[in-house]
Amino acid sequence: MEISMRISAVLAQAGDRVIGDVVAALDQRDQAHRRAPSQAERRHDVEHLFDLVRQCLQDGRADPIITASQQIAADRFAAGIDLADTQATFVVLEDVLWRHLSAELAADQQLETLRLVNTILGTGKDALARTYVALAQGGSGTGPADGTADALTGPPGSAGPPGSASTDGTAGTSGTGGTDAPVDAIVQTAVQGKVGIITLDDRQKRNAISARMANSIVAALASLRAQDMRTIVIRAAAGMSVWSSGHDISELPQGRRDPLGYDDPLEGLLRAIRTFPAPVVAMVHGTVWGGALDLVLSCDLVIADETASFAITPANLGLPYNTTGLLHFVGRLPINLIKEMFFTAAPLDAQKAKEWMVVNHLVASGELEAATLELARIMATKSPMAMAVIKEQLRVLTDYQPIAAQVYERLQGLRRQAYDSSDYLEGLRAFAEKRQPIFRGT
């Protein structure tokens, strides 16, 4: 309890700053992608959630956030608000809390702090997802949270009914049969034992990662977590030759704003995959472009067939990639390969991807699904707590690179010059007009 008391003391002093940062981050997110609630409503919601976190720390139990999250979910479901939007406050608060707490606590206290914050808010997100699932299936959504850890002594469990939540753009199924999806669903979920399968199915846009696509995948992850899935497989729909065409270019800002800011939906999706407390496997048939390669590298394992190729293409658009995204590549690939891929934007074929360890296993196309599901089933039989902790340890060890504030500010200044440039606008125009860009270096 000593660390809980220390965290509570820090939060008591930093409360106003934390709440202000969360409200500002949510305002920026909503300004870019959807209609925002009033400032008063937003601040009230953030303050309420912040107070619940403090209460859980003081009580040493997660009961307060479970009950409150069930009620929040019921209210938002009745209002027609999808799960991804409902969970946004939890996700942003978790990130802001970690930034404030890591700056105030000693290094030997930070890992336990991260675990406590993730446990409390993760339990709340699980309760939200379970309630959405139950309500979507015609239940009350307010039953006991069986399987959820109510004490802060370990990672939150997550048990729930079979099937998955139907959210904006997401269709749910259980078992191995076909999906009963709305015609406009672009993400589908299925369950095979303890393996959850997320299928990207936006054929019109070649699985471009739009805000809707990204938020639907995040919602699918939350729903499958609520069903106690031990391994997740992300794949493209059968018959697609493009796994994903990357970030939806039509949603990028037209200059004067960071195109890959912290609150970009793709960035939120990458964080959701990297922090998901179970293995996430990318099953790749077809080509992977741009930001979709960042998504693939954010998965824990990659299994591909001979049709796969991988390209990172921001230089084709004049788009300065963000530092966080570059760290994802640095953590996986040799620096000379990273430079060649970014500087040429040329695809890496399946065989070279295997040689450079972009993919764990390269199998024949006819064996891809069976090989992926077999590996997923094997992992699903292992200790979920051990895997969750090991995954988080590896993420922390590879993600947290020390960098001086002035160096970071210099890098951001260089990026700002690039995304405010005429070259960036030329790249976007050329893409929309389906022609080669003419870059002038200005």
Decide if 291 is catalytic. Answer: yes
- Counted residue by residue, the chain has a size of 442
**Residue 382 DSSP class:** S
CA dist., res. 245 & res. 355, Å (int): 23
Q: What is the pLDDT of residue 137?
A: 63
Decide if 247 is catalytic. Answer: yes
**Token pair listed for 336:** 């000379």
Please, are residues 189 and 198 in contact by the beta-carbon 8 Å criterion? yes
Q: How far is CA 255 from CA 120, 317, 344, 415, 426, in A?
A: 38, 12, 23, 11, 11
CA dist., res. 329 & res. 393, Å (int): 18
From 180, 173, 174, 187, select the one nearest 217 (Cα to Cα). 187
The CATH number given to 170-399 is 3.90.226.10
From 137, 127, 145, 136, select the one nearest 70 (Cα to Cα). 127
Please, are residues 419 and 255 in contact by the beta-carbon 8 Å criterion? yes
Torsion sign across C-alpha atoms 16, 105, 103, 26: negative
> What's the maximum distance between 2 C-alpha atoms anywhere in the chain?
62
Q: How far is CA 196 from CA 178, 188, 376, in A?
A: 14, 11, 9
Candidates 100, 247, 285, 328; catalytic one: 247
Stated as kind and residue range, the H or E segment containing 309 is strand 309-311
From 104, 163, 94, select the one nearest 135 (Cα to Cα). 163
- For residue range 210-269, what is the model confidence (pLDDT) as tens digits? 988 998 899 889 889 888 899 999 999 999 999 999 999 888 888 777 888 887 889 989
Amino acid at 229: M
CA dist., res. 135 & res. 433, Å (int): 45
Three-class DSSP category at 180: coil
Three-class DSSP category at 210: coil
Stated as kind and residue range, the H or E segment containing 23 is helix 2-33
Three-class DSSP category at 107: helix
Q: What is the pLDDT of residue 29?
A: 66
Candidates 321, 325, 328, 419; catalytic one: 321
- Domain 2-136 top-level CATH class: mainly alpha
Candidates 196, 268, 286, 291; catalytic one: 291
CA dist., res. 37 & res. 27, Å (int): 9
b/e burial code for range 321-357 (CB count within 10 A of at least 16 → b): bbeebeebbeebbeeebeeebbeebebbebeebbeee
Domain borders along the chain are 2-136, 170-399
CA dist., res. 79 & res. 326, Å (int): 39
With 0-12 / 13-18 / 19 or more C-beta atoms within 10 angstroms meaning exposed / middle / buried, residue 241 is: exposed
b/e burial code for range 83-117 (CB count within 10 A of at least 16 → b): bbbbbbbbbbbbbbbeebbeebbeeebbeebbbbb
Q: What is the pLDDT of residue 253?
A: 83
Q: What is the pLDDT of residue 272?
A: 92
With 0-12 / 13-18 / 19 or more C-beta atoms within 10 angstroms meaning exposed / middle / buried, residue 161 is: middle
Q: Which residues of the chain have pLDDT under 70?
A: 1-2, 29-37, 108, 111, 137-184
Residue with tokens 């305002």: 27
> Can you name the residues that pair with 302 across neighbouring β-strands?
282
